[in-house]
Amino acid sequence: MSKVFVMKTKPKTVLNDYQQLLRKANVNGILDPAVPTILKDNISWHFPYLSANSTPWQLEGTILGLKQQGFKKISCVQNETVVTNAFKGEKLNKYLPIFKKYNIPVLYNFKDADMKWVFHQPKEKLLALHEVFPEGIRIPDYFYGKNVVHLPTVKCHIYTTTTGAMKNAFGGLLNTKRHYTHSVIHETLVDLLQIQQEIHPGVFAVMDGTVCGNGPGPRTMIPIEKDYILASADQVAIDAVASKMMGFEPLDIPYIRLAQERGLGIGDFRQIEVIGEDVEKVNFQFRVGDNLASRFGDVVWFGPLRSLQNLLFRTPLVNLFIFGSFFYHDYLWWPFKGKRKMEHFKKNMRWGQLFEHYEG
């Protein structure tokens, strides 16, 4: 039976609570502290929008917890997307003072000086990636032989219903052509988990639910304070528990069900031991909803224009859609909705006030 550790927290105690969470989860019994360990934070958007990105207290609390348990070789790996700037994201989300304070080297999977992309030959047959990338699946060489600790948040997603530990590998292991996989996104997440279990000595997740994202994520959501933090060595189980807390049936979500069927983890909530808070009756009643991007995606990735994907996304035409997404999120939604939501949140909500004054 897989174990997921869940705690309630508050701004004044959150760093201590994260350290306690990692102790309870026996992180140094699951991961070998002598093995180099990668922190894979989640920057879904370079703007400082709570619920969309790993929180600074999640990052700092996890670093403190790992160091307390004897982990000395800790690094962080960032990735870029066609619409997200990693350098801007780590600055605006207040990660840089934390990296400096704890001497955490930061590497970028899109910089040749930091790592190279190499072809990976999976040990087991994959569900989708071998067809999406018939020329071969390439992943960063830096990931081989190292532990990885994922730092997702509790939030909804327009294409996968929820997004968490499994989805967090999407940016780290796939390059900027990862959008090729959107029509088989659930199968892709399962394939990536299989690959992780092949290349990493240990995989762990520390999930932040202090501010959760309700609505059409991973960016255009409503941030809602919920005060939870979670940890588990089972990436499927922690996503299942988070999904259940959000109000979804985990096994109704394809990536969770498929991962369990492949033997990569437990997605059936009844077979997961939740240690700490009793969340069986917790239901945030979240709903994904739609935004401009999801309506377009429903037509192109899953609807009547699906047969045109190669033309639209594997030719220079893709730049039109990249610009459209960038313009919509950064120049329409953020200044007219997102920024206002965050300003209100920072003035009136406890976690928003913590973020406003956070220095690491």
Alpha-carbon distance of 80 to 84, in angstroms, equals 6
Alpha-carbon span 39 to 12, nearest angstrom: 24
Contact 148, 27 (CB under 8 A): no
DSSP secondary structure letter of residue 112: T
Q: Would you give the distance in Å from CA 320 to the centre of its chain?
A: 26
Question: Which SS3 state, helix, strand or coil, does residue 271 take?
Answer: helix
Shortest CA distance to 73 belongs to which of 108, 37, 40, 41?
A: 37
Sign, CA dihedral 277-202-103-171, equals negative
So what's the pLDDT on residue 41? 97
**The pairing of beta strand 203-214 with beta strand 222-232:** antiparallel
Burial of residue 151 (number of CB atoms within 10 Å: 0-12, 13-18, 19+): buried
Nearest CA among 177, 140, 153 for reference residue 42: 153
What are the CA-CA distances from residue 160 to residues 1, 288, 289 (Å)?
25, 9, 12
Give the single-character DSSP code of 21: H
In angstroms, the CA 126 to CA 193 distance is: 10
What's the farthest any 2 CA atoms get from each other in the chain? Answer: 53
The closest alpha carbon to 43, from 170, 182, 137, belongs to 170
Contacts (Cβ under 8 Å, ≥6 apart) of 287: 156, 214, 215, 247
Q: What is the pLDDT along the chain (360 residues), one digit of tens a residue?
A: 899 999 999 999 999 999 999 999 999 999 999 999 999 999 999 999 999 999 999 999 999 999 999 999 999 999 987 678 999 999 999 999 999 999 999 999 999 999 999 999 999 999 999 999 999 999 999 999 999 999 999 999 999 999 999 999 998 898 767 777 878 999 999 999 999 999 999 999 999 999 999 999 999 999 999 999 999 999 999 999 999 999 999 999 999 999 999 999 999 999 999 999 999 999 999 999 887 666 666 666 566 666 666 655 667 766 776 777 888 899 999 999 999 999 999 999 999 999 999 987
Task: Please give the Cα distance from 293 to 158 (Å, whole number).
Answer: 8
The span from the CA of 307 to the CA of 348, in Å, is 47
Q: Are 166 and 236 in contact (CB under 8 A)?
A: yes
Helices 254-261 and 235-246 pack at an angle, to 10 degrees, of 150
DSSP secondary structure of 165-184? TTTTHHHHHS-TTGGGGGGG
CA 44 and chain centroid, separation: 8
CA distance 122 to 199: 10
